[in-house]
Amino acid sequence: MSPVINRFCLYGLLKNQRYFAAFWILAFLDKGMSFALIGTLMAFREISVIVMEIPTGAIADMLGRRWAMIVSHVAYVAAFLTFGFTTSTIAIFVAMFAFAIGEAFRTGTHKAIIFSWLKSQGREKEKTQIYGITRSWSQIGSAISVIIAAGMVFVLEDYSVIFWVSAIPAALNIINFLTYPRELDRSATPDKSRGKVMIRLWEATLSCFTSAKLRRPISESMGYEGMYNASKDYLQPLIQQMVLAIPLLTAWQTTQRTAVMIAVVYSLLYVLSSFASRYAGPISAFLGDEERAARWLWMAFGGTFVVLLLGTVTDWTGLAIVSFVVLAVLQNIWRPILVGRVANYADDAAMATVLSVESQVKSLGLAIIAPVLGFAVDRTPEPYQFAPIALFGIAISALALIPLGSDASPTSKVEEPTAASEA
């Protein structure tokens, strides 16, 4: 691979050194929060992202994508340090707002950097494959991070340290961005006029909803990504539930036993997810094309939630855990294919804006689903506490598989604004 692609992969490796990721819900439960409050915190993060994301995507397109990534990671460092050193609910919400700033500047922007570089090299057809490779390195980073995090939790029996230690790789990624080629810092259109920035923002955003070929994958992202991201962290209390139910490693404290089991399950999850991302391109080609692959993935998504329902209403907690692992694998096939579908119809100059719209819609889905799921889990009798997650997933999958009629011509794109439109 080229040195530039290696830097893209290094970004993913460092970005996913979020040592709290596999302990996120357990850490907040340890701070005295309920599932409903945790869901509200997640919704607050996503609403904050929604408010900021499209403008930051447009700013990244017009004023500098590389510097947008640097601002993003400065915000991450501030958020991680605050999470680690506070137990105040108000301070946690403030930290989550800083985290949302980081997400808003990052999402869509780095993918736009990748696609712009591929276009400059005449390699546009490799977008799903290359993005899948870079995403696979993100999953490798996650596999490494969960082992390190589990070790810290096992030794210290404290969740706080995994937050502030996460600030170190975020700071290292800032150095990585400074080594990116300078020509990737800006979009194809260097105009800095504030009026033209807003025109481009409006036109690119409007096209996401007026173009049928863009509207379909973006609306699917709201359901698929929103449901997956709202539910995936419930794997953590399920693992803890299994640890408490079986006489395994009883010489250790519950926190230590949970850390070991999380390390085992999440390491397997991330390794499988890495392979899934790497082979998303070949899987898409095998299934026919990206549109056909998406439909097959929706069916697999719904079927896995059926299995999850069986695991949550019986004593087969292991089956529920396996279901979450399968959902992660499916999502890591889905994501490169979804991004490829969106990129097929988005003009390069508006790419970060369009991808930010997609990410914003995904955030809206999570913001709607997360607090509802948290409330439902809190109110469901303990033996069936996690069944609402499966029921929501089944319902969303069924809705997504309903045909919506014919789409627009596959050649339609989000066009770069014309001179007349900018006048």
**Quick check: is 418 in a domain?**
no
State the pLDDT confidence band at 195, using cuts at 50, 70 and 90.
Answer: low
pLDDT digits (tens, 9 = 90+) for 120-164: 888 877 877 887 888 788 878 888 999 999 999 999 888 889 999
Give 329 or 351, the one with higher predicted confidence: 329
Structural domain including 357 reads: 3-183+206-402
Give 214 or 69, the one with higher predicted confidence: 69
* Contact between 137 and 336 (Cβ < 8 Å): no
What mean pLDDT, rounded, does the chain reach?
A: 84
**Quick check: is 66 in a domain?**
yes
Amino acid occupying residue 44: F
**Quick check: is 417 in a domain?**
no
Other Cβ atoms less than 10 A from the Cβ of 251: the count is: 6
* Contact between 373 and 312 (Cβ < 8 Å): no
Q: 231: number of CA atoms within 13 Å, CB side?
A: 33
pLDDT digits (tens, 9 = 90+) for 35-59: 999 999 999 998 998 888 667 766 6
**Quick check: is 423 in a domain?**
no
- Predicted local distance difference test score (pLDDT) of residue 119: 82
State the pLDDT confidence band at 233, using cuts at 50, 70 and 90.
Answer: very high
- Predicted local distance difference test score (pLDDT) of residue 303: 96
Tokens of 159: 């969740």
Separation CA 249–CA 340 (nearest Å):
45
Has residue 363 got a pLDDT over 60? yes
**Quick check: is 310 in a domain?**
yes
What total of structural domains would you count in the chain? 1
- Predicted local distance difference test score (pLDDT) of residue 104: 84
CATH of the domain at 371: 1.20.1250.20
Has residue 419 got a pLDDT over 60? no
* Contact between 377 and 386 (Cβ < 8 Å): yes
Q: Model pTM?
A: 0.76
**Quick check: is 201 in a domain?**
no
pLDDT digits (tens, 9 = 90+) for 80-118: 999 988 889 999 999 999 999 898 888 767 887 888 888
**Quick check: is 408 in a domain?**
no
**Quick check: is 413 in a domain?**
no
